[in-house]
Structure 1
Amino acid sequence: MLTVESLAKSYESSAGSARRRKSADSTRVFAVDGVDFDVRDGELFTLLGPSGCGKTTTLRSIAGLEHPTAGRVSLGDRVLFDAAKGINLRANRRGFGMVFQSYAIWPHMSVFKNVSFPLDVMPRAKRPGRKEIEERVQQVLDVIELGAYASRPATKLSGGQQQRLALARALVTQPELMLLDEPLSNLDAKLRESMRFELKRLQRELNLTAIYVTHDQSEALVMSNRIAVMNEGRIEQIGKPREIYTRPATRFVAEFIGTSNFIEARVVSVTGDDVTVETTQGRLVARECPRTPAAGDSVLLSIRPESIDVSTTPRGDVPNEWSGKVRTRAFLGDAIDHITGVGDLEIRSRSNPTVSIPPGTEVHLTVAPEKVTLVPVD
């Protein structure tokens, strides 16, 4: 549906800018640096990354609110932006629905008038009739469960209701693509969690195609069909949530998505799906490898805490088992983290809260080979 090719956005740079790049005539800093991705019909595609990584600039460039330096953006057969050909369709002609971090609710209007506003201000030739406007507004309000509040002043809604109102205002125009820029970040933690499922429900029921921007890893994992992890203006990895989490392609992705243990190692041998590596504390076997390594390659092991089993008794019949001593533990409510010293390493494991081992206890750590991911060292 939407295709983004070699998109770039740069600015004049000061000498101290960390992300500057020399061009033929000046030194420039790239907020977005050669981004490529496609968004499929009916998909919720998430741009995920820390503040300043370029995700919002990418979204604004797609929306037509930023003028990119280079690249091409197309929606089906329609070219929205092409730097090489001098094409740059104005934002109001792209036909997208947008929901921002700020709800931008009209305080002097009712809920109904807030939703009908985009239809009311359409050019006369394209504007629906009064009856159609009323039907479309009421239909959207019913879908997002605000039908009973149509006559209420918009400022009398709760935070979650105002967020749904902003979504309704974007939906009423029946856009081909929805653009959502951190729309839940102003909500409290509990409401934000419930709104994630609400948004996902609406996206599925209405078969919406959407690009969602967030820095919240949990939000991205819960809501997305696919995720693009961004760092310093570039995309580090694109994949389904489970793939991004279990098979990070780079150290940045492994560190940014959840918590992980990182262990430096060198490949000893590759036999079928098994990769044997040498660490400072002995050998381990891995089976998750984004790229097939060769003997002698330096690699980084990424092991999630929940993938490690901790026990006071040895297993002895598994390929990956280390012995160590618990240094500290932390109760997290739904889990307990143990930090275990294994030689010069500190290994974090996450267990059911019923498993609580006091510091100073000798323990045995085991992890299945398929839970050990090799991250290439570039």
Structure 2
Amino acid sequence: MLTVESLKKSYDEAPGRAARRKKRDTTRTYAVGGVDFEVNDGELFTLLGPSGCGKTTTLRSIAGLERPTEGKVALGGRVLFDSAQDVNLRPNQRGFGMVFQSYAIWPHMTVAKNVSFPLEVMPRAKRPSRQEIDHQVAEVLESVELGAYAQRSATKLSGGQQQRLALARALVTRPELMLLDEPLSNLDAKLRETMRFELKRLQRELNLTAIYVTHDQAEALVMSSRIAVMNEGRVEQIGKPREIYTRPATRFVAEFIGTSNFLEGKVVAVNGGEVEVDTPHGRLVAADPPRKPVVGDPVLLSIRPECVDLSRERRGLPNEWTGTVRTRAFLGDVVDHIVQIGDTEIRNRSNPTLSIPPGTEVHFSVTPDKVTLVPVG
């Protein structure tokens, strides 16, 4: 549906002829340094990354609120921006719905008026009749469960309701694509968790195609069809949430998505679907890595804390080492243990029924299929 090709954005110089003449100047600093991805129909595609990684600039470039320095953006074959052809449609010509981080609710209007306003300011030739506007407003308010609040002042809504109102206002024009820029960041933690599922429900029920920007990894994992992890203006990895979490392609992705234990090592054997790696603390075996290394390759092993199994007794399992519990922390639904193995600390995350006191000797083990090989360099 949406295609983004070689998108670049530099703020070194204001857009114009001089900027276009210098667009290939390698001395420039790029906020977005060459981004490529596609968004499919009915997909919630998330741009995820830390502050300053270029995700919001990418979204604003797609919306037409920023003019990219280079690249191409097309929607269903219709070119929205192309630096080579000097095409740049205005935001109102692109036909997108957008929900901002600040909901931008009009405080002097009722809930219904907030939603109807985008329809009422359409050009006369495209503007629906008053009856049709009322019907569309009622329909979209019901879809976001605000039908009973139609005549309430927008300022009398809770944070979650205002978020849904902003979404309804973007939906009422029936856009081909929704753009959402961290819409839950202003909510408290409990409400944010509730609204993740609410937004996902609406996206599925209404079959929305959306691009969602967030720095919250849990939000991305819960809501996304696919995730593009961004870092320093570039996409590090694109994949489904489970793939991104269990098979990170780079160290940055492994560190940014969840928590991970890292061990450096060198490949000493490749036997069918298994790779043996020597580390400073012993040998570990990884099963079915997505990219097969060769003997002698330096690699980085990534092991998620919940994949680490602890026992007070040695059981002769694969990838079993001995260490000492240095500290533990009760987190309610889990207990974290920090196990000292030589000069390395390994984090374990267990069911709260397992709580091992500091100073206890334990045996750490992890199954080969839970050891991820991350390429070095």
State whether structure 2 residue 117 is matched by structure 1 residue 154: no
Report the equivalent of 1:347.
346
Q: Tell me the alpha carbon deviations over residues 140-182 of structure 1, each in whole angstroms, 9 at most, x when there is no partner.
A: 0001000000000000000000000000000000000000000
Q: Match of 1:181? A: 181
Moved more, 47-56 or 289-298: 289-298
Shift of 1:103: 0.6
* Structure 1 residue matching 2:30: 3-state secondary structure: strand
2:28 match: secondary structure: strand
CA distance in structure 2 between the aligned counterparts of 1:207 and 1:51, rounded to whole angstroms:
29
Q: How far off is 1:27 after superposition? A: 3.1
How far apart are 1:11 and its partner, in Å?
A: 2.1
Q: Once the two structures are aligned, what percentage of the paired residues are identical? A: 78
Q: What displacement does 1:23 show?
A: 7.6
Per-residue deviation, 1:289: 2.3
Change (3 A) 1:218 1:24: closer
Aligned partner of 1:17 in structure 2 is none
CA-to-aligned-CA distance 1:101-122 (integer Å, 9 cap, x gap): 0010000000000000000000
Query: Aligned equivalents of 1:146 and 1:76: distance in 2?
Result: 32
1:56-114: per-residue Cα shift (whole Å, max 9, x none)? 00000000000000000000110000000000011000000000000100000000000
Partner of 1:42: 42
Q: What is the aligned partner in structure 1 of residue 240 from structure 2? A: 240
Shift in Å, 1:26: 7.3
Map of 2:329 onto structure 1: 330
Partner of 1:196: 196
Q: Secondary structure at the match of 2:276?
A: strand
Give deviations 1:220-248, integer Å, cap 9, x for gaps.
00000000000000000000000000000
1:273 alignment counterpart: 273
- The amino acid that maps onto 1:335 is V
Residue 209 of structure 1 is matched in structure 2 by 209
What is the distance in 2 between the residues matched to 1:69 and 1:340? 49
Shift of 1:133: 0.2
| Displacement of 1:190 | 0.2
Count of aligned pairs between the two proteins: 369
CA deviations 1:235-288 (Å, max 9, x no partner) are 000000000000000000000000000000100111111000000111110025
C-alpha contact 1:247 1:288 (8 A) present in aligned 2: no
In the TM superposition, what whole-angstrom CA distance separates every residue of 1:167-219 from its partner, at most 9, and x where no partner exists?
A: 00000000000000000000000000000000000000000000000000000
In 2, are the aligned partners of 1:288 and 1:371 still within 8 Å (CA)? no
Contact 2:2 2:76 in 1 (8 A): yes
What amino acid sits opposite 1:160 in the alignment? G
Compare 265-274 and 178-187 and name the one that shifted more.
Answer: 265-274
Alignment of 1:70-81 (within 5 A): 70-81=70-81
Distance 2:100 2:328 in 1: 40
Q: Letter of the 1:39 partner, please give it.
A: V
> What is the match of residue 376 of structure 1?
375
Q: Report the Cα offset of residue 24 of structure 1.
A: 6.5
Which TM-score applies when normalising by structure 2? 0.96
Correspondences of 1:79-90 after superposition (within 5 Å): 79-90=79-90
Is 1:29 paired with 2:29? Answer: yes
Match of 1:105 in 2: 105
SS in 2 for 1:127: coil
| Alpha-carbon distance between aligned partners in 2 of 1:334 and 1:325, rounded to the nearest angstrom | 23
8 A Cα contact 2:23 2:70, kept in partner: no
Q: Which runs of no fewer than 5 residues in structure 1 stay unpaired?
A: 14-21
| In 2: Cα distance, 1:309 partner to 1:270 partner | 25
Over 6 Å off, 4+ runs: none
